[in-house]
Amino acid sequence: MKKILFVCDGKNFSKAAFQFVSSLSENEPFLLTGAFFHSLNYGLVIPNTFAPDAGPYLSYTEEENDAFLQGIKEFKEYCEKNQIEYRIHEESDTWDISDLVKESRFADFMVIGGAAFFSNLSDSEAKSVLQQTLHAAECPIIVVPDKVEPINEIVFAYDGKKDSVYALKQFIYLFPQYCELETTIVYFNDEADKEIPDLEYIEEFAARHFKLLNFEHLNFSKKTFSFWINTHKNAMVITGAYDRPGLSMAFKKSFADDIINSHTIPIFISHL
């Protein structure tokens, strides 16, 4: 990896997300670009399209603008303290998903502090903005919880579909250092007699990259999986989620939502 995108709404700077990024600098140097958006204070997402509201946006008070600038200041100070090369991109005053799409197009991957991201909004509004971001991004994303624990286990949520395997490939290419850790490929469903899809193929591929590889076939639902994974406090989850069109996203919740909303472990998300 050569360029990481750190996405933040200015007044909600995530120290946990920066701590995670800083830990990566121990392996190789990179450019960290901070993309700073102004914090919003009302619902702006149309649920059935995941598009910004066409209505007028708020005017920022001096206090809100000061908080925005403080977030940028903290970012600069942390980068300089940790000797990380950085750039600052101040985005437009209104939330425009195309700004984020452009930023993600020219980055190896993106880091977001899940709990801090637009945390001044209501819970449902903040989740809508985050889902919109995860769906629209053109690079892999890591959503970091409130507290970052040392990662000593990788859990790959495998469903046999192309986005799932694509996410695994992206993770391998970006984080070869994590391929040394204990890795579990998990296939879960509520049908006890259903076999792991293309087991021979995924085993043949993954075993070439991960030294400590295990397989788990768990007979329970996606909702139960989120409880199971939260018992693995020092893990990172890999998933190919948020690939559905916006309308489908509004009616079908991704199991990744439960993991993100628990704010306990980081999750790596990538889709075609």
CA atoms lying within 13 Å on the CB side of residue 78: 24
Same-domain pairing of 196 and 102 = no
Same-domain pairing of 115 and 246 = no
In terms of Cβ atoms closer than 10 Å to its own Cβ (0-12, 13-18, 19+), residue 171 is buried
| Residues 135 and 242 sit within 8 Å (Cβ to Cβ) | yes
Quick one: angle between helices 222-229 and 255-262, nearest 10?
30
Last residue of a domain, one of 90, 112, 144: 144
Reference 120, options 61, 73, 55, 54; nearest CA is: 61
Q: Give how many domains the chain has, as a whole number.
A: 2
Same-domain pairing of 260 and 167 = yes
Residue 204: give its domain's CATH number: 3.40.50.620
The pTM is what?
0.88
- Tell me which residue range forms the domain holding 61: 3-144
Same-domain pairing of 30 and 97 = yes
Same-domain pairing of 7 and 98 = yes
Distance between CA atoms of residues 22 and 8, nearest Å: 16
Same-domain pairing of 163 and 128 = no
Same-domain pairing of 120 and 162 = no
Q: What is the pLDDT along the chain (272 residues), one digit of tens a residue?
A: 899 999 998 778 999 999 999 999 988 999 999 999 886 644 444 444 444 443 334 445 677 778 888 889 999 999 999 999 999 999 877 778 899 999 999 999 999 998 888 887 888 888 888 888 999 999 999 999 988 889 999 999 999 999 999 999 999 999 999 999 999 999 987 776 788 999 999 999 999 999 999 999 888 776 677 778 878 889 999 999 887 554 344 434 567 888 888 888 999 999 98
